[in-house]
Each structure stands twice: as C-alpha cells, then as structure tokens.
Amino acid sequence: MKITVLDDYQGVVARLGAVRLLDGLPVSLEIRSERITDEAGLIEALRDTACLVLIRERSHIGARVIEALPQLRLIVQTGRLAGCIDLEACRRRGVEVRAGGGNPIAPTELTWALILAASRRLLPYARQLERGRWQRSTERVEDERLGRVVHGRALGIWALGKIGSRVAAIGRAFGMEVLVHGRAQSRAAAEAAGYAFIADRREFLARVDVLSLHLRLGPDTRHLITAADLAAMRPDALLVNTSRAELLAPGALLAALDRGHPGAAAVDVFESEPEGVAAYLGHPRILCTPHLGFVDQDTYEAYFSEAFGHVRSFLGGAEAEA
C-alpha cells in the first residue's frame, strides 16, 4: 500500500523520527518535495496512492482529483482541517479524512522573532554589514533611520486566543502595554488577564505601536481588514501577520504601506502561496518570511507523529475489517 506525502519543500520528512511509526506496516512511503500546481499533475503523481498525507494547506485536493484516484482510501491533514480538501467528494467516494491538532508555541515564537527583527531593523543592518557598511541599514546615509525598542510601547492583539494570549504574555514581559480587540471571547480573556480591551476598531488601530493579527480565517473574517482600517494606524506603527493573508482585503496592506500608515510590516503568510509572495518582495518597509509559523523540528515531529499514527490506526482497522 502506497503512502504519499506532498509538498515537503525542504526534503526533511524522511529524516523525522515520526517515520518509525510506519515500521512493520506493509506500505511504501513516497515523499515528494516538488510543488505540483495543476490537477492533472496531482492525479498523475497520486495515481497509485492509498494514503495521502498533506502538509497543512500547501496543496488543494479537489473533487476532480479525488474522483480520479480509485485507490485512494485515506487523506490525513497535518494540523487542523482546512478548506483545501473537498470533503463532499471524499464522502461520495468513501475516502476517510483525518486531521491533527494545532500548536501555538512555534507561531508565537515566530511572531516575536518578526516583531523584534522588524523593530530593530536586523535584516537591513545584516545586509549592509555583508556589503562592508558598519552600523548602517541603508545604502544612502540620507535614508538612514534607527530601530527602536518595544519596551514601553503598545502591543495590539487582534483576537486573544491560544496564540494571541502567548504573544500578549511575552509583550507584557517586555514591558509593553497590551491592548486587545476582537469578539466577546477576546474581551473576556482580556479582562481575565488584566489587559485593556478596545471595542472600537479604528480607536484600537490608532493606539497600537505593534499590531499582531491572530484571527481565524472564516466567511466573517475573510477580507475583514481594509486599507481604510490600516490608514488609522500611526506612521511609525508595525503590523505583523503570522495568521492568514486573507484576513486583509486584496492589496490593502501594500496600499496602506505606500501611503505611510502603518510604517512597516512583517509578514509570514501570503495569498496563493508561494507565488503570491512576489508582490511583497523588495518592498522597503516589509519583512517577508516563507510561512515558517509551523515549520520547525518540534512541530514537524508532532504533526507527522499524529499523521502517521492516523495511517497506522486506519490500516489496522482496515485489516480487521478484511
């Protein structure tokens, strides 16, 4: 029985300890690193696959693909189930779908890595140092500007859930004033933690020095944040998004940055990844990272231990039925 893992961009899955969970099973494991962007290519690559393991939402498995794979019996989504699998097509074909859980630790740490790197202008300084310029972050001295500390500044958390709460606690430890915006759950969590909750969106955006987005993507949050909203932010404010790119209206962030409100952004998520990053690369006020929120050794081990555990239990159940 063939198990296929798609979109292992870095070629690391085969070296994970989690792979040992497949020991003793009558299976062959194929791990594909290249990105397959068209349905015909996916159908060809998965033709003999019985168990498909997806790394988050990197590939979309639609009805046409599912209908064209008669041997497919199981799809496992690492992390929480997302909208990249046509569940109705799976039900029609009798393909079982299983998913894993989330991990707030890695995205929390990446959020803070981005906040600190952008606030202190670490990448521009490092790039200029490689070019022989000491304590410079720009080529022309006329364009030079200093980084700044986060202590004493206002950290805005939009949605105080599992990740937002961790980001907020670290901000408090840095000596920041934590301001929260969101729904009733965020208000209750903010009051319990002793943070200020600001119900008015524009007032919230106008008061923060650093804004960190932690909303879940859904019909009511897709394109929720507009360029007009971002225009309420101060010209020295920083926006950080490690959540979902689609929380912002198309083009809203680039338009807002070009108008100078906010003054900078650090972004780990993009529309139509990876191709969608192209519009942001090279922008002088954006720090871009390639969706690293869950890409670390510990999270991969946890994700694939759960995923291959699902495969093992599924095959055990299938053998029992046989």
Q: What is the pLDDT along the chain (322 residues), one digit of tens a residue?
A: 999 999 999 999 999 999 999 999 999 999 999 999 999 999 999 999 999 999 999 999 999 999 999 999 999 999 988 789 999 999 999 999 999 988 899 999 999 999 999 999 999 999 999 999 999 999 999 999 999 999 999 999 999 999 999 999 999 999 999 999 999 999 999 999 999 999 999 999 999 999 999 999 999 999 999 999 999 999 999 999 999 999 999 999 999 999 999 999 999 999 999 999 999 998 999 999 999 999 999 999 999 999 999 999 999 865 444 4
As beta bridge partners, residue 267 has 241, 288
Whether residue 222 lies in the annotated active site: no
Catalytic-labelled residue, pool 56, 73, 291, 310: 291
Catalytic-labelled residue, pool 273, 283, 285, 312: 273
Whether residue 273 lies in the annotated active site: yes
Q: 105-288: which CATH topology?
A: Rossmann fold (3.40.50)
Whether residue 148 lies in the annotated active site: no
Location of each CATH 3.40.50.720 domain in the chain = 2-102+297-321, 105-288
State the architecture of 2-102+297-321 in CATH terms.
3-Layer(aba) Sandwich (3.40)
